[in-house]
A = this chain, B = another copy of it.
Amino acid sequence: MSDIKNKILVLICDGMGDRLTNGYTPLEKAYKPNLDFLASQGVLGIMDPIAPGIKPGSDTSHLAILGYDPYKYYTGRGPFEAIGIGMEVKGGDIAFRCNFATSTPELIIKDRRAGRISEGTSLLTETINNLEIDNIKIMFKESVEHRAALVLRGEGLSPFISDTDPHLEDSSVLEAKPLDNSLESLKTANIINKFTRLSYQLLSKHPVNKVRQQKGENPANIILVRGAGLVPYLPSFEEKYHLQGAFIAEVGLIKGIARLLSMHAPDFTFATGSYDTDMKQMILTSLNLLEKYPIVFVNIKTCDLPSHDRNFEMKVRAIERIDEALAPLKDFKGTLAITADHSSPISVGDHSADPVPLLILGDVRKDKVNSFSERDAAQGGLNRIKGVDLMPIILDLAGYSEKFGA
């Protein structure tokens, strides 16, 4: 590997940060000789992915860690839902979160989740994807169960329109209305209202729904939209940093964000996002990618699963499996950062705003901390930084920063 000293590897262990369970965090309880060895060679600190006390989503935290201020670039759930399920959106598109729902012919909603439909949505999707209404391209994609996303692409659109989802059952489908006085919002609302009626026409006679009705299940015969958002115009990673970046991610949302930044973020069959994922292969692949790319990110999902299940022992084991996979990094000679995108305490069972541990190796001021955990990291030489500070810091350490001033 040429110029290894200028190579940067960033490992983001999803949801790894925690609080205390019986006096210890999972990181403190885990047997993790490789992480501790790496800690003894580097400088540690704690990091607020967004800002102190702000509970991050995986989307906003990854934007921040990649150096894109989420307060500037995060435009709502719609666009990031679409990104997360693998729709190829681009800056300027308008995206919505959607539900398959059950409607009467009078457009009264009887079931907002169409019986939590679990099969057949991809067939239903074929009917309502790739439409065109008023010269605007309509893209639709199903997600899990009744969830889906809708993307409008074309000239003269606006995200400032209201939801069609009444959020209550036995209520009429709402008319999308413009939320400002612009022609763009009026046009977008009209298109959504046409799409809503069209979805009922196309879906209500669909064979999947005929079968559902024969089985006594609620048909998925209309699409409700909510959370309109503009897909942000993001400068690509290369435009922003003059470096080509690669990203190894297990889940759609993270891959989608990387692709939105035009990073190299292919699908890898060994990165499954479940307990069967092959983390060793992910690490070896990251090292291979560093032959070509100056900077590679890896999101390891394993810790997040037991966090949501509030399973302390499983989280300890997930950390131990990550630790094993990191063995090859003990010889890494470039700049290496190991952190998390958010804390997910066992006591909470969801994301929290607690800062995450951060370890940086390379041409750093090695500190006295020789264990990788939340509380040890808080004693480290980096003190406390924010997620958006990470990229500038590691770019400077690896020799890529530009002087501000003279």
Interface of A is mostly: loop
The interface stretch among A51-59, A86-94, A212-220, A302-310 is A51-59
Do residues B52 and A353 form an inter-chain contact, with CB atoms below 8 A?
A: no
In A356-381, the 8 Å CB interface with B consists of 363-367, 374-375, 378-381
Residues of B within 8 A of A406 (CB): 57-59, 77, 80-81, 84, 253
Q: Are A345 and B363 in contact (CB under 8 A)?
A: yes
Given A381-B378, A392-B353, A405 contacting B57 (CB threshold 8 A): yes
Q: Is A115's CB within 8 Å of the partner chain B?
A: no
B353 & A393 in contact (Cβ 8 Å cutoff): yes
Q: Quote the shortest CB–CB distance from A123 to chain B (angstroms).
A: 27
Residues of chain A from 333 to 391 with CB closer than 8 A to chain B in the complex: 345, 347-348, 350-354, 363-367, 374-375, 378-386, 389-391
**Interface presence of A102 (CB below 8 A):** no
Most chain-B Cβ atoms within 10 A of its Cβ — which of A23, A382, A394, A405? A405
Interface 1/0 per residue, A131-161 and B, CB below 8 Å: 0000000000000000000000000000000
B367 in contact with A53 (CB, 8 Å): no
A83 CB to closest chain B CB (Å) equals: 10
- Which of A179-187, A198-206, A277-285, A395-403 is found at the contact surface with chain B? A395-403
B52 near A393 with CB under 8 A, answer: yes
Min CB gap A263→B, angstroms: 19
In the bound assembly, the distance between CA atoms of A337 and B308 in angstroms comes to 28
Q: Is A286 an interface residue (CB 8 A)?
A: no
A354's partner among B70, B365, B389 (CB-CB below 8 A) is: B365
Quick one: CB contact mask for A57-75 with B, threshold 8 Å, 1 for yes? 1111100000000100010
A55 contacts B402, C-beta separation under 8 Å: yes
A50 within 8 A of B: yes
Contact in complex: A404, B74 (CB < 8 Å) = yes
Asked whether A56 lies within 8 Å of B375 as measured between CB atoms, the reply is no
A38 sits at the interface (CB 8 A): no
Does B405 lie within 8 Å of A352, measured CB to CB? Answer: no
Q: Is the CB of A25 within 8 A of B405?
A: no
Report the Cα distance A350→B406, complex, angstroms. 11
**Which chain B residues border A399 with CB–CB below 8 Å?**
348
A16 within 8 A of B: no
Nearest neighbor of A63 in chain B, beta-carbon distance: B405
* Chain B residues positioned under 8 Å from A365 (CB to CB): 19-20, 25, 354, 374-375, 378
A394 to B53, CA, bound (A): 7
Q: Is A231 an interface residue when CB atoms closer than 8 A count as contact?
A: no
Given known A54-B404, A55-B404, A404-B57, contact A367–B375 (CB-CB < 8 A): yes
In the complex, the answer to whether A405 meets B363 with C-beta atoms within 8 Å is no
Residue in B closest to A97 when the chains form the complex, CB atoms: B406
Q: How far in angstroms is the closest Cβ of chain B from A261?
A: 16
Contact of A347 among B363, B395, B402 (CB under 8 A): B363
With CB as the reference atom, state the residue of chain B lying closest to A385.
Answer: B52
Min distance, Cβ A365 to any Cβ of chain B, angstroms: 6
Contacts of A10 in B (CB 8 A): none
CB distance from A229 to the nearest CB of B (A): 12
- Which of A54, A253, A406 has the largest number of chain B CB atoms within 10 A? A406
Question: Given A46-B383, A367-B375 in contact, is the A405-B60 Cβ separation under 8 Å?
Answer: yes
Give Cα A61–Cα B406 distance, bound, in whole angstroms.
10
**Sample of 8 more A-B contacts, CB < 8 Å, known A351-B403, A365-B378:** A19-B365, A46-B383, A52-B385, A52-B389, A54-B404, A56-B403, A57-B404, A60-B405
7 A–B contact pairs at CB < 8 A? Answer: A53-B395, A54-B396, A59-B406, A347-B363, A350-B403, A353-B392, A367-B375
